[in-house]
Structures are given as C-alpha cells and as structure tokens.
C-alpha cells in the first residue's frame, strides 16, 4: 500500500502520488552533506591551531622559550642564530600603528560623510569606488609604496631609506581605510532615524547630533570595525614585504628598513631552506605569534560587541 500517509484517504487519491520517501531521503542527504560543509570551517580552525602548535612545539625543542622572548636580535638564518621575536613584533606594531593612525580617523570620517552628508546619488558612486580601493591586491599597494610614495616622501624627509616602515605603514593605512569606512558606515546607518530626530528636537545641530548621539549609539559596530582593521594591519604581508624591507632591526625609527613577522615568513618561504630545518620551524613559531595577536584582538572585539551592542526595535 501507499506508505506515505496514515491520514485518511483523500478525494481523487489516485491522482496524487507524491514521492514522499524519495523527497524525505534527499532532504536528509542534503542536510547531512551541507552540515559536513559547515564543519569544514571548524576543521580549518582546528587545522590551523594544530599545525601551529605542533611545529611551534618542535621549534621550542631546539630554541628555549626564554631566548625567544628575551633576545634582542633576530638572526635565525645565520650561524650564530638569535631568536628575539620582539624584533619582528616591534616592526609589525610600528607599521600597524602608522596604518591605523591613518585609517581609523579617515575611515570613520568618510563613513560619517557617506551615511550622513552624501546624497543617495553620490553614495551610489562613492561606495563602489571604495570597494574597488578595497579590492586592490596588496602586492599592488606594495609596488605603489615602494616606487611612488617612498620617492615622494624622500624629497622632504631626510634620511628616509628606500625600504622603510613609514611608507609601508601609510600605504597600508590607505589599503585598510575602505574596510573601516564600509563597516563603520553600516553601523552608523543602522542607528534608527528616531534617535536622530530625538536629538534634533532638543535643539542640536547636525554635527552635535552625529558626535553626541549617532556615534555613541553605533559605538560597538565602529569599534568592531576598528579592531578588525587592526588585525588586518597586523597580518598584512605584501605591502610590508615589498616596501619595508627585510632587515630585522629593533628600532622605533620609521625611516629605516625593518622586517615584520609576515615579511619574515615570506622571506623564508621564498628561500630554499629544507623542510626539516630549524629555519622552517621558525616560520610556524612566528605564525603562532601572529595568530595569537589577531585571535586576542578578535576575542576583544567579540566581547566588546556583546557588552555594548544596543538593540533597537
């Protein structure tokens, strides 16, 4: 008998022959296949974590963690190898700081302009342009930094070397600017119109409404966009590899060549160090450090959004 239903027979039952078992079976199959796909993202995270932990552990078998954290030189490829990670971390922090110094204020102001001042017609043009800017590959920005920005800066900054942290940081700031602008604009746009009207009704000007009411209301989204762009800057690779150089030096002078964590990984990857060598394990230890930094930023962002997000009906 027809197994699809224990309901009473319907009128014209012979006209309706749904393949319920087949559709039930295919629904289950689709569900489990797609669930497996979703689990691939978890597997990716686990893969990253275990890869980094495993190789970093191997690295620390040969180099003590004490040396890693206290030495003041980074020369893993030399015979007299030194492994002071702060040399690379400080370079990463310096270029990131310069980038963030450009991207956060400019990006936030641009976001305010786009959502509060620009007419819809103008925004229709500006947003795709920002997206193009966001889509420029970092190796192109690297070219731009090394061969366009640095020569210009050299004309008025004495002592600026061909490879330097300043130019790389500035261009990196431009490269993450669209991210700040677009995410902040989403947050600002989501603030309900009624809040703005409430503020205007108290006799405030447009600027006072924006800085006093709209921005605080969008704070969690804006901070999330800031944090994400900081972690982008920390993990940015090609701009600093091309334009900041490959000299691991512990310095705060933005005019001289430095080597960031990411640039070091590229340098070793391009070389012909054997896969079992200490140099190769080093890049996983550096990668671990990089992953931890972005992970902490991300946890902070997650916590902040949860803590401060405003819910509007």
Partner 1 sequence: MSSNPYSAPQLPDAHSSDFQPALNKRYKLDRFFEFLTWIATFVGLLVLMMLLYDVISDGASRLSWQFISSFPSRRPAAAGLLSALVGSIWLLCVTAILSFPIGVGAGIFLEEFAPDNFFTQIIEINIGNLAAVPSIIYGLLGLQVFSRIMRPITGGPSVLTGGMTLALLILPIIIVATRESLRAVPNSLRQGGFAVGATRWQVIRNLILPQAIPGILTGTILALSRAVGETAPLITIGALTFIAFLPPLSLEGLQTDFTALPIQIYNWVSRPQPEFHTNAAAGIIVLMVVLLTMNTTAVLLRNKFQKGRI
Partner 2 sequence: MTNIANPTMISDSQPHLQEPALKMEGVSIFYGSTPAIREVYLDIPAHQITAFIGPSGCGKSTVLRCFNRTNDLIPGAKVTGNVFFRGVNLYSKKVDPVEVRRRIGMVFQKPNPFPKSIYENIAFGARINGYQGDMDQLVENSLRRAAIWDEVKDKLKDSGLSLSGGQQQRLCIARAIAIQPEVILMDEPCSALDPISTLRIEELMQELKEQYTIVIVTHNMQQASRVSDKTAFFNAEATEQGGKLGFLVEYDDTVNIFTNPKQDFTRDYVSGRFG
Q: Is 201 among the residues that bind partner 1 (CB under 8 A)?
A: no
Nearest residue (CB) to partner 2, 5 versus 205: 5
Which span (4-12, 191-199, 205-213, 250-258) binds partner 1, by CB under 8 A? 205-213
Q: Is 93 among the residues that bind partner 1 (CB under 8 A)?
A: no
Listed in sequence order, the residues at least 6 apart from 257 whose beta carbon sits closer than 8 Å to its beta carbon are: 161, 162, 163, 164, 165, 244, 245, 246, 247, 249
Q: How far is the CB of 193 from partner 2 (least distance, A)?
A: 24
Number of residues that bind partner 2 (CB under 8 A): 22
Sketch the per residue contact string, 250 through 289, with partner 1: x for CB under 8 A, - otherwise.
------------x--xx--xx----x-------xx--x--
Binding-site partner at residue 15 among partner 1, partner 2, none, CB < 5 to 8 Å by type:
partner 2
- CB contact at 8 A, 88 and 264: yes
Q: Is 113 among the residues that bind partner 1 (CB under 8 A)?
A: yes
- Distance, in Å, from the CA atom of 92 to the CA atom of 290, rounded to the nearest integer, reads 9
The SS3 of residue 74 is strand
Q: Is 31 among the residues that bind partner 1 (CB under 8 A)?
A: yes
Bridge partners of 74, per DSSP, are: 83
Nearest residue (CB) to partner 2, 25 versus 57: 25
Among 3, 45, 79, 155, binds partner 1 (CB under 8 A): 45
- What letter would DSSP give residue 53? H
- Distance, in Å, from the CA atom of 218 to the CA atom of 116, rounded to the nearest integer, reads 13
Residue 6, Cβ density class (10 Å: 0-12 exposed, 13-18 middle, ≥19 buried): exposed
Listed in sequence order, the residues at least 6 apart from 76 whose beta carbon sits closer than 8 Å to its beta carbon are: 82, 83, 278, 279, 282
Binding-site partner at residue 5 among partner 1, partner 2, none, CB < 5 to 8 Å by type:
partner 2
Q: Is 3 among the residues that bind partner 2 (CB under 8 A)?
A: yes
The SS3 of residue 83 is strand
Binding site for partner 2 (CB under 8 A): 1, 3-21, 23-24
């Amino acid at each position: 008998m027809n197994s699809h239903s224990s309901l009473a027979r319907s009128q014209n039952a012979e006209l309706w022959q749904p393949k319920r078992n087949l559709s039930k079976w295919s629904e289950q199959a689709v569900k489990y296949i797609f669930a497996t796909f979703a689990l691939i993202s978890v597997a990716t995270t686990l893969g990253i974590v275990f890869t980094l932990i495993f190789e970093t552990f191997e690295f620390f078998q040969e180099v003590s963690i004490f040396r890693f954290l206290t030495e003041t030189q980074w020369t893993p490829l030399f015979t007299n190898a030194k492994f002071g990670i702060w040399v690379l971390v400080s370079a990463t922090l310096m270029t990131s700081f310069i980038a963030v110094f450009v991207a956060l204020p400019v990006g936030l102001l641009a976001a305010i302009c786009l959502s509060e001042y620009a007419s819809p017609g103008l925004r229709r043009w500006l947003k795709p342009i920002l997206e193009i800017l966001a889509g420029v590959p970092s190796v192109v920005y690297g070219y731009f930094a090394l061969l366009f920005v640095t020569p210009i800066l050299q004309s008025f900054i004495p002592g600026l070397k061909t490879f330097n942290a300043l130019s790389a940081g500035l261009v990196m700031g431009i490269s993450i600017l669209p991210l700040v602008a677009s995410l902040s604009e989403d947050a600002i746009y989501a603030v309900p119109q009624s809040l703005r009207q409430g503020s205007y009704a108290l006799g405030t000007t447009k600027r006072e409404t924006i800085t006093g009411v709209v921005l605080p209301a969008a704070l969690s989204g804006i901070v999330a966009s800031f944090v994400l762009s900081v972690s982008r800057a920390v993990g940015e690779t090609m701009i600093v590899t091309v334009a900041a150089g490959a000299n691991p030096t512990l310095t705060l002078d933005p005019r001289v060549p430095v080597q960031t964590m990411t640039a070091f990984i590229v340098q070793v990857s391009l070389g012909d160090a054997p896969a079992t060598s200490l140099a190769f394990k080093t890049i996983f230890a550096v990668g671990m450090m990089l992953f931890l930094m972005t992970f902490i930023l991300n946890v902070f962002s997650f916590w902040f959004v949860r803590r401060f997000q405003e819910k509007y009906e």
